[in-house]
Amino acid sequence: MLSAAVGKRHVRAAEESRPAEIRCPVLSIVGNEGFRQDDPHAVGASPSCRTEIPPGQGHSVLAEAHRTVRGLLLDWVDGHELVDA
């Protein structure tokens, strides 16, 4: 019963999300093991999103490949201009 309610809530949240409306730069780093590239909320959902998929990584890519993630993050930050809010 609880899992069905949580599942419905998750589906409703996904349906209500509008990633295409995100205007700020976004960096998405995901592992390729178990990753679904046909997920509409994953790759290319936002025009301002850059997605990086380090090979051989799973859910814990941030911990298991922290040097790779650090390099991707620094490269991404370096590619953006600092602006005053």
Q: What is the pLDDT, as a whole number, of residue 38?
A: 60
26 belongs to a structural domain = yes
Q: What is the pLDDT, as a whole number, of residue 42?
A: 59
83 belongs to a structural domain = no
**Which value, in Å, is the radius of gyration of the alpha carbons in the chain?**
15
* CA distance linking residue 25 with residue 65, whole number of Å: 22
Number of domains in the chain: 1
21 belongs to a structural domain = yes
pTM (predicted TM-score): 0.65
- 């025009």: which residue's tokens? 47
The runs of H, that is alpha helices, within 17-56 are none
Residue 41 is part of which domain span? 2-78
Q: Which of 26, 27, 23, 18 is nearest to 53 (CA)?
A: 27
* Full pLDDT tens readout for the chain, 85 residues: 344 445 555 455 555 667 777 788 888 888 887 666 666 555 566 778 888 888 888 888 888 999 999 999 999 999 988 777 6
68 belongs to a structural domain = yes
84 belongs to a structural domain = no
